[in-house]
Copies of this chain bind each other. A is one copy, B any other.
Amino acid sequence: MAMVKMAVVGATGAVGREMLKVLEERDFPVGELVCLADPKEEGNRVKFKDEDVIVRGASPEAFSGIDIVLLAVASEISEALAPEAVKRGCVVIDNSYAFRLREGVPLVVPEVNAGDVGQHQGIIANPNCSTIIMVVAVNPIHQAAGIKRIVVSTYQAVSGAGILGIEELTRQTRAALEEREEKPEVFQYPIAFNLIPHIDTFQENGYTKEEMKMVWETRKIMHLPDLRVSPTTVRVPVYRSHSESINIETERKISAEEARGILAKAPGVVVQDDPGAGVYPMPLYTSFRDEVFVGRIREDVSVERGLNLWVAADQIRKGAATNAVQIAEIVVRENLF
């Protein structure tokens, strides 16, 4: 396999650091690696294969000669940088929301729509973390029985808000145990021993943008423009791994056993479903893993054709870094530069 000249932008953030780890673990054919970040991070170091890589300030010129750019930065920065990278002949895999719904930009979860990668015009978008986790679990069910409607409630880890979110949970938990108050900075309210039903901004319809991303992005990834999805997204005091309670109505009847069999063979899915023996997914144990863990698979008692699933997965790995690197692997393997 040809060696690839890579740039990782946002290399010092939670997702950027994880991208470097995943590139290394999966033996991605990195020929050259450029690590970029906010100019104020210039000179900092990040690890790649036991070597220190010096971080440079991100600028359009830094993309010259690069084959694939992994962008793990805020939407506004992606908006500015991605076209510059494309102009210089790079393929950009962007983790932000900026390009996800744009026409001509494939939005890809390799287990679901790997084939879309080939249609890119320079930019391929990496979906929202909660969306990735959900579609990996529900797409096999859709293939088998047709999905009519999804009602999903999420239990989202603080690392969805990056390293600062992790630090805030630790700081506030210590404070709460000592009966001190500690002002929230990352989240809207204290997150220690609390739940916050508010992720991203509120839209006119009363849903948050995080919730509507799960509607819009799921439709695009699954090629089901009319799929009916109703999400509620909630921040919980968990460090890593998002969990989701997913209720599915299907076109055709599917038994829990059949669903279990289908999911057991589905790519990227691990079935953990022997509840009597205490086997079901939990975020503490699905962290630092690449798969989506599915359990509590049961036929819905409230409809004739329906299933409930309980899903957990590391949203920094499969929900972001691993998914982006998997897309890069397709680009390389199928020579889609």
A: residues with CB less than 8 A from B are: 149-151, 153, 155, 169-170, 173-174, 177, 188-190, 193-198, 202, 205-208, 215, 228-230, 232, 234, 236-239, 243, 245, 247, 256, 275-276, 278, 280-284, 295-303, 306, 308, 310, 312
Contact = CB atoms under 8 A, between A and B. Distances in A.
Contacts of A232: 153, 245, 247, 296, 308, 310
Given A169-B193, A195-B243, 8 more contacts: A151-B302, A196-B282, A197-B310, A206-B256, A206-B297, A207-B298, A234-B245, A237-B237
A275 B233 CA distance: 13
A276 B208 CA distance: 10
A135 B300 CA distance: 20
Summarize A's interface: helix, strand, loop or mixed.
Answer: mixed
Contacts of A151: 151, 247, 302
Contact of A298 (B206, B284, B301, B308): B206
A247 B234 contact: no
A302 to B, nearest CB: 4
Nearest to A176: B173
23 contacts: A151-B302, A155-B195, A173-B177, A174-B177, A189-B278, A193-B237, A193-B284, A194-B283, A195-B236, A195-B238, A195-B283, A197-B295, A198-B280, A205-B298, A206-B275, A206-B296, A206-B299, A207-B298, A228-B302, A229-B302, A230-B247, A237-B237, A245-B245
Contacts of A306: 230
Contacts of A302: 149-151, 215, 228-230
A228 B238 CA distance: 32
A243 B150 CA distance: 21
